Structure 1
Amino acid sequence: MAVAHTEHPPFPAPPRERPRPVVIQGGMGVAVSGWRLAREVAQAGHLGVVSGTAMDAVLSRVLQDGDPGGHYRRALAHFPSPAMAGRVLEKYFVEGGKAPDAPYKPIPKLTLETARAGQELAVLGNFAEVWLAKEDLGTDAVVGINCLEKVQMATPTALLGAMLAGVDYVLMGAGIPREIPQLLRALAAGRPGSITADVAGGSIRRTVSVDPADLLGEDLPSLVRPDFLAIVSVDQLASYLHRDPDIRPDGFVVERPPAGGHSAPPRGKLQLDEGGEPVYGSRDEADLAKMAALGLPFWMAGAYGTPEQVAEALRAGAVGVQVGTLFALSLDSGLAAGARGQLLDQLRSGELTVRNDPRASPTGFPFKVATLEGSASQTEVYEARPRLCDLSYLRQPYEREDGEVGYRCASEPVHMYLKKGGTEEETRGRKCLCNGLMANIGLGQHRKDGYVEDILVTLGQDLAGAKELIKRYAHGWRAVHALQYLQEHLPGVRLAAV
């Protein structure tokens, strides 16, 4: 299927100093922080952030569902390479949508050298998400993209796609993102960009790369380097990244342990409380005076979802806060209506709990899981799931005995993981985050045998702000309501009526 190409002027170069909004809306899950949510936040004068995780799968599945509203097709009509957009539409778009119980088509898996078709799909997916968030907002509105350092094999193509859409900020945590500044500089110059790949047992350095000129050829426009915010948990990591200009970010998000999604494990020997959750202490808290002394802007995250906490962050020298849970639960997020409804029902009744599961993620990082009936958070529900790994975003590259690179995931079938040199201990308690997160947004896979993937929702553990908002808005709140609530204790902030 051909795609109509709409002529449009390139995004103008942003001012030398980008806006530093008080509120950063967190980049959550897979498309929970989707373009609609990011757009609402950016339009209100804050930093709206889209998730850069698994956007190749999101784009392919939305197109197979018929692209309701035509939004992704509208974005792809503005992509600089009509031929590339046309190839993806030809392969995945289904007029009127596939049958509800039909499986989604598989997409190319990530490797150190992802197939060209997979690279194109990823570039287009991230382009479309950022383009839709920024559409017709003007240069004063800022949009960011959040990626995970752990998902290295997706990073170069995701950031290229986002930059082609004029993304203003890149945010990254779940690791040490020391090579992202040089990657952004290379892509902005139109040169191939690479990052080092963590290969278990690797004896030689291996990289993951993307070549903008090779992918787009003469269609490659000029690109502008976005600002980069490194998500860190302690001031020591911030100091390390600040020390060298080559790896220095433009600012930091200081994320405390209660934040949703993946979080850094406790420093030192892992200890669990009576509920089986990691125990954090003073060593896991950043020294905010040292953060301020670095001289770069920083935002606080993890239990900063109330007006009192926002004011506290500013008094400590922060520019503002990053907040996830209030926006994840808002009516503008990408959560499927059923999942959001169940979460809000539990929030109203005071029964909503979020567990920091040290085993759920195959990455080895603790992962926050909302306890919901009938979801993969329940042991009996998850154990009934056929164990498989087909989306494979969290696969770990490893060096085989023959020197070649293989790929394994602690959530894949145990016998396959053991065959690839893993241990049985590493597989215990691991869950398939990839498929669960896709189910959260209504894009869960329907297997040929009739099995349908269950949801697996992540939220932050601090629910104080959400409990207050559900009192005020019994049927749910919008992103703008959350923004107004967060700023209630800030002097000089005029809150518009909605």
Structure 2
Amino acid sequence: MTDQPTTTEQPETHARVPELPRVIQGGMGIAVSDWRLARAVCISGGLGVVSGTGIDTVLLRRLQDGDAGGEVRRALATFPNPALAQACLDRYFRPEGRAPGEAYARLPLPTADRSRDAWEMTLLGAFVEVTLAREGHDRPVGLNLLTKLQVHTLPALYGAMLAGVGTVIMGAGIPRDIPGILDAFAAGRPASLRVDVKGGDPLTLTFDPAEFDLRPVPLTRPDFYPIVSSHVLAGVLARKASGAVQGFIVEGPTAGGHNAPPRGPLTLDDRGQPVYGERDEVDLPAMRALGLPFWLAGGCGTPQALHEALAAGASGIQVGTLFAFARESGLRADLKEDVLTRAQTGTLDVFTDPLASPTGFPFKVVTLPGTLSQPEVYAARERVCDLGYLREAYRTQSGRVGWRCPAEPAQAYGAKGGDTADTVGRKCLCNALMADAGYAQVQRGRVTEPGLLTSGDGLAALRGWTPGYGAADVLRVLHG
């Protein structure tokens, strides 16, 4: 990988959706918004979105579990570099699956100068996910990525574009560089991304298709919808991003997953949750004035919310929670049933945890037995950082770049120059979210990683939904 500035030149080709969707499905967790859910949403008339978070490990674990339906292998058979796809199968595919209690293989943790394994698998994983989501219909498919997962962003975008992704959605940060990256890939050129380094200047990573024996050809440029929590950020991205932005997802603090921190000094309520106020409300007239489509997200999973969003000038809504518990989602069946059963009795609770995420962003946590939401489960888990998606880069005293995560063992974090006080309450979202989707790692001592379920504050709205409902049911109800 070599340094190369990101270009802002616009390619001639660009994906345009003739009719904007009124409902966009949320890009939830790791493999919760999988290809099956996205495909079902698309077929029913919405914008289906696949999650690209941790897609390299998701691909690896599906192959190690035997790829029972053969879908992964079917998609890999269409990858433009057959040798790379076959090498992946030779290395990780287990026709009979893993033995009981056997750990999954692990990819080497990527760094700025040693990322080949992770990049190959991310490239293939994103291609597979979008390819499968696009089967059986002609509607666009979206890809969701977290801005803070910078090391995996470039191959995920390129793999998705090879498969014909129609829209890219990114939050959990300020994705200023992404439009220019999409432009460069669409024009058949390499693209670069700046990676934040604490205590030093940013690194530059460059993805060149030729280095993966992929012929650099023009690709369709997907639309780009950054997730914003304020009209000010939306305006900055509309004017100063590295290329064109086609719309916005306007997400409030009631949405699941990561939330933007409250504006101003941090204040906690009597439960220890961040307090949001008037300063955190989005100025919708200002959003309309930008002249770009936008969708409202966070507590919008009702027909009334869709009606109000349209009346306020939005193009529609983004909905996560209702889709997360639909039968097509990648969430574990036992978690779906447990939550939906509890919803009928009104015993569900969502806690906005200011500490759980290593990113420092508040993170919505469902209080559920057997998960890391329980103090005894959290205390019993042995800390390990073997996936590393949320690590931060930092400049060492010798001038080199190191990697650390406040959810790793406290002693290791301190040895890397981190403040061990920052490790208190931090949870390994990487392993926990893999577990939510049925890909839990088996750690030392044959201990299976526990999950940690996230959902929006609108979880109580599940009371009227019984196990087994589908994505089509959600869209039918939302559209009234």
TM range (shorter): over 0.9
| Percent of aligned pairs sharing the same letter | 53
CA distance, structure 2, for counterparts of residue 283 and residue 223 of structure 1: 41
Cα pair distance change 1:312/1:210, threshold 3 Å: same
**Aligned residues of 2:143 and 2:169 also touching (Cα < 8 A):** yes
Task: Name the counterpart of 1:298.
Answer: 294
1: distance between equivalents of 2:111 and 2:317? 35
Matches within 5 A, 1:29-428: 29-138=29-138, 141-202=139-200, 204-218=201-215, 220-244=216-240, 246-428=242-424
Counterpart residue type for residue 485 of structure 1: V
Contact 2:185 2:218 in 1 (8 A): no
> Residues 336 and 467 of structure 2 are in contact (CA less than 8 Å); yes or no, is this contact kept in structure 1?
no
Deviation at 1:16, TM superposition (A): 4.0
Supply the distance in 2 between the matched residues of 1:51 and 1:319 (Cα, whole angstroms): 22
| Count of residues paired in the alignment | 468
The answer to whether the aligner puts 1:486 opposite 2:444 as a matched pair is no
2:6 match = none
Q: Are the equivalent residues in 1 in contact too, given 2:302–2:478 (CA < 8 A)?
A: yes
Paired with 1:20 and 1:278, the residues of 2 have a C-alpha distance of 34
Question: Match of 1:476?
Answer: 468
Judge conservation of contact 1:332–1:478 (CA < 8 Å) in 2. yes
Task: Report if aligned partners of 2:388, 2:405 keep a CA contact under 8 Å in 1.
Answer: yes
Q: Give per-residue Cα distances to partners, 1:436-455, cap 9 Å, x unaligned.
A: 00000111001241111011
Contact 1:297 1:318 in 2 (8 A): yes
Kindly state the Cα deviation for residue 188 of structure 1 after the two structures are TM-superposed. Answer: 1.1
Please tell me the residue identity of whatever aligns with 1:369. V
Deviations 1:12-53 (A, max 9, x none): x77644531000000000010000000000111210000010
Misfit runs of 4+, over 6 Å: none
Structure 1 position 215, deviation (Å): 1.2
Over the aligned positions, Cα root-mean-square deviation in angstroms equals 1.3
Per the alignment, in what secondary structure is the counterpart of residue 440 of structure 2? coil
CA contact (8 A) 1:252 1:298 kept: yes
Q: Retained in 1: the 8 A contact 2:31–2:51?
A: yes
Higher relative contact order (CA 8 A, sep 6+): 2
Q: 1:455 aligns with which of 451, 456, 459?
A: 451
Closer/same/farther in 2, CA of residues 107 and 15 from structure 1, 3 Å limit: closer
Cα distance in 2 between the residues matched to 1:387 and 1:432: 8
Counterpart Cα distance in 2 of 1:312 and 1:425: 44
Which AA in structure 1 matches 2:476?
A: Q
Distance apart, 1:459 and its partner CA: 0.5
* Runs of at least 5 residues in structure 1 that lack an aligned partner in the other structure: 1-12, 489-498
What one-letter code is carried by the residue in structure 2 that aligns with 1:444? A
**Secondary structure of the equivalent of 1:295?**
coil
Per the normalisation by structure 1, the TM-score is: 0.92
For the Cα contact (< 8 Å) 2:14–2:221, is it kept in 1?
no
Give, in angstroms, the shift of residue 194 of structure 1: 1.1
State how far apart, in whole Å, the 1-side matches of 2:177 and 2:26 are: 22
How far did 1:195 drift? 1.3
Structure 1: how far apart are the matches of 2:358 and 2:303? 35
Rounded to whole Å, the distance in 1 between the matches of 2:241 and 2:404 is 35
* Residues 45-88 of structure 1: CA deviation (Å, up to 9, x unaligned): 21000001000000000100001101100100011110010111
- Distance in 1, matches of 2:247 and 2:170, equals 11
Moved more, 188-197 or 302-311: 188-197
